[in-house]
Amino acid sequence: MDFDEIVNRNTPEDIKYSDIKGISDLIPMWVADMDFRSPVEVRKVLSDISTRGIFGYSEADPSYDKALVDWFKRRYDVEIDPGTVLKLPGVVLGISLSVRALTEPGDSILIFEPLYGPIAKCIKGNGRKLVISDLVRTGSRYEIDFEGMQRKIKDNNVKMLVLCNPHNPVGRVWTREELLKIGDICLENDMVIVSDEIHADFVYAGHKHIPVASLSDDLRKITVTCTSPTKTFNLAGIQAANIIIADDSMRRAVDRLSLVTGAYGLNVMGIAATRAAYTYGEVWLDELLEYLSGNITLVRNRLKDTKLKVTDIEGTYLMWIDASELCVSDPAEFFLDKAHVRLSEGGFFGNSGKDFIRMNVACPKSVVNEALDRILAVPGVK
Ligand SMILES: Cc1ncc(COP(=O)(O)O)c(C=O)c1O
């Protein structure tokens, strides 16, 4: 796979590239998809469907289930019962349905911030009370404030935790010890865990993704695990997610709600792409991880000794950068204006993120270098 290839994404429907704000030489490093082509086997099955020209109603079949089950066994040593998997057109949808089906209006739901913004919106928009436990920054790394978390759970009678593992945007891959501690707290307080594991496949050397539901039978029974091949294989526009809910009554509740809202199932492209990706995509993914790891090192090295402080990254391809030393009110807007590089605004991830920028490094190395050249040329950055 040639990850150095520049692929033209300039189509009117492409969010990352079409929303260029009138700047013709803009480098987009914001929304979380990649500038790499999906594995060739995925492209082949999609092209075959397109050539056949039939796009009828479709349903995942046993060969789909086998590809999914084998992937989780091979990559995470986890046994998934395909009967416990709800297929939905997105992870955020899975979170939203779980919030609505498994809590009551007015119930409190806890998140760790900074966090991928749509999750807080989904909790508040569904009429639940958002309880924020701020992650604690120690040097260039984030940790969970377990005491604060417990206090907030008790004070607000919290019913659910929406966990993100690996955590977007701070790049942590939660350890077994941390997950067990989180799990114990949730079990003690009769809480449900919704674990957003969409970034699970992006974990770098020295770290291991552990699905929280895999840690014990008790945790499996209280957890909704949200997984998807769309980040891993760059299929976000195809919209596919596998939501694993072991507990029968919880799963039935979420399934019922998905049926009555009409938001359920996968489309013909989603089924074929997921099956092909999980069956044939492993070598591609391993090469990709090496490439991304190189990009991460490049950013870290070139921003060392500047006013941009890079957070350690254990997982995801999203780098969380403290720009507070620049003393500008909106660092993302600043770099858009001065360097024509579009980064995600830290405020999108909660109040604690407002002096930060998030840089998506899933693009060819030459693009990362060009973006860094421009950023480093901005007066005041060095
Ligand atoms: C943590 C996290 N969850 C969910 C999503 C979106 O998932 P989906 O497109 O399947 O709704 C993203 C996309 O960036 C994400 O980073």
Which residue has tokens 């969010």? 15
* Residue 32 CB–ligand 1 contact under 6 Å: yes
* Residue 344 CB–ligand 1 contact under 6 Å: no
Atom number of ligand 1 nearest to Cα 115: 1
The SS3 call for residue 240 is: coil
Structure tokens at 370: 């060009």
pLDDT number for residue 292: 98
Ordered per-residue pLDDT tens for the chain, 382 residues: 899 999 999 898 999 998 777 898 999 999 999 999 999 999 999 999 999 999 999 999 999 999 999 999 999 999 999 999 999 999 999 999 999 999 999 999 999 999 999 999 999 999 999 999 999 999 999 999 999 999 999 999 999 999 999 999 999 999 999 999 999 999 999 999 999 999 999 999 999 999 999 999 999 999 999 999 999 999 999 999 999 999 999 999 999 999 999 999 999 999 999 999 999 999 999 999 999 999 999 999 999 999 999 999 999 999 999 999 999 999 999 999 999 999 999 999 999 999 999 999 999 999 999 999 999 999 999 9
Dihedral through CA 33, CA 35, CA 40, CA 43, nearest 10? 60
Cis check: omega of the bond before 39, within 30 degrees of 0: no
CA-nearest residue for atom 7, ligand 1, is 91
What's the rounded Cα separation, in Å, for the pair 326 and 380?
7
CA of 114 to the centre of ligand 1 (A): 15
* Residue 228 CB–ligand 1 contact under 6 Å: yes
CA of 92 to the centre of ligand 1 (A): 6
313, 303 Cβ separation under 8 angstroms: no
CA of 305 to the centre of ligand 1 (A): 32
CA of 89 to the centre of ligand 1 (A): 11
* Residue 319 CB–ligand 1 contact under 6 Å: no
What's the rounded Cα separation, in Å, for the pair 7 and 197?
28
CA of 202 to the centre of ligand 1 (A): 14
User: Which of 173, 194, 198, 227 has the most ligand 1 atoms within 8 A of CB, as the residue to mutate?
Assistant: 198
Q: What is the DSSP string of 107-167?
A: -EEEEEES--THHHHHHHHTTPEEEEEEPEEETTEEE--HHHHHHHHHHHTEEEEEEESSP
CA of 231 to the centre of ligand 1 (A): 8
Atom number of ligand 1 nearest to Cα 31: 14
169, 121 Cβ separation under 8 angstroms: no
- What number of other Cβ atoms are within 10 A of residue 281's Cβ? 24
* Residue 168 CB–ligand 1 contact under 6 Å: yes
Phi, psi of 343, deg, nearest 5 = -115, 165
Which residue(s) pair with 193 in the sheet? Answer: 161, 223
CA of 140 to the centre of ligand 1 (A): 24
Q: What is the chain's length? A: 382
What's the rounded Cα separation, in Å, for the pair 310 and 301?
10
CA of 265 to the centre of ligand 1 (A): 17
**Domains, the chain, ranges and CATH?**
15-39+282-376 (3.90.1150.10), 55-279 (3.40.640.10)
Atom number of ligand 1 nearest to Cα 90: 10
User: Which of 115, 116, 194 has the most ligand 1 atoms within 8 A of CB, as the residue to mutate?
Assistant: 116
Burial of 332 (0-12, 13-18, 19+ CB in 10 A): buried
Nearest to 126 by CA among 148, 145, 151, 104: 104
Structure tokens at 274: 């997921």
Characterize the bridge pairing of strands 241-245 and 141-143: unpaired
DSSP class of residue 4 equals T
- Whole-angstrom CA distances from 155 to 113, 148, 159, 184 are 18, 10, 12, 18
The reported pTM is: 0.98
What's the rounded Cα separation, in Å, for the pair 381 and 180?
41
Burial of 109 (0-12, 13-18, 19+ CB in 10 A): buried
What's the rounded Cα separation, in Å, for the pair 227 and 239?
12
37, 235 Cβ separation under 8 angstroms: no
| H-state helical runs in the chain | 15-18, 40-52, 62-76, 91-102, 118-125, 146-156, 176-188, 217-222, 248-261, 268-280, 282-303, 331-339, 365-376
